[in-house]
Structure 1
Amino acid sequence: MPTYISEVDVHEAEAQNPQDLVSTWGSIREEIRELGGEVLDSHAVLGEYDFLVVYDVDDRETAFKVTQVIERHGLDTRTMGALPIERIGELVDDV
C-alpha cells in the first residue's frame, strides 16, 4: 500500500478550542479508515505547518480523498508520496 505524508495547517479561527481539535483528529482517523486507509503516525510540529500525518492508502485517488476529508474539517493540506528508505535501496539496485 503506498504511503503518503500530509503537512496540515490549522487556521487560528478554526482552532478555538484544543479539545475540539483533538476530537477532530479522531473523526479524521475514522474517516480515513472508512476509505480503506490507515494512519501510521501523526505529530504536532513546529514550523510552517502545525501537524504531520503519515498514512497508507490503496492509490493516489484515495490519497486525494484523504486530503478532502482533512480539508473538510477546516484544515489545509500539502501532500506528498513517500517511500521507506529500505525501498529506495531496492530500487537503486534494479537500475
Structure 2
Amino acid sequence: MAKYVALVDIREQIQNAQELASVWGNVRAEFEEFGVTLDGSYAVLGEYDYILIFDAPDRDTAFRAGIAVESHGMDMQTMEIIPIDDFAQLVED
C-alpha cells in the first residue's frame, strides 16, 4: 500500500455542520468501497480547508478516491508520500 496526503478545498456552499458531516460520512464509505484506508482527516487554518492522509493499494485507487471527493463539491490535490527514513535510503543508494 502507498500512503497519500490530500489537500482539500470546499468549492460549493455548505449550509451547516450537519451537511458537512454527512458529506464526510459518504466520502468515508466510498473510500472503504475502494479499499482506501483513511489514516487521518484534519481541518486546516489557511489556504486549504482539510488535509486527508490515506493508504491506497495503488495509484489508480488513489485517483478513484480523488474523484469521490470531487464528486461531493470539493477540490482535492493528492500527493504520494514516503517516510523520511525511506527517502534517506533512496538518496543513499
Normalising by structure 1, we get a TM-score of 0.90
RMSD: 1.2
Unmatched segments (≥5 aa) in structure 1: none
Normalising by structure 2, we get a TM-score of 0.91
Mapped to 2, the partners of 1:12 and 1:32 lie a distance apart of: 21
C-alpha displacement of 1:48: 1.1
Letter in 2 for 1:62: T
Paired residue for 1:63?
62
Paired residue for 2:9?
9
Mapped to 2, the partners of 1:38 and 1:31 lie a distance apart of: 11
Letter in 1 for 2:66: T
- How many residue pairs get matched? 93
Unmatched segments (≥5 aa) in structure 2: none
C-alpha displacement of 1:90: 2.5
SS of 2:21 mapped into structure 1: helix
Identity of aligned residues (%): 44
Mapped to 2, the partners of 1:64 and 1:21 lie a distance apart of: 22
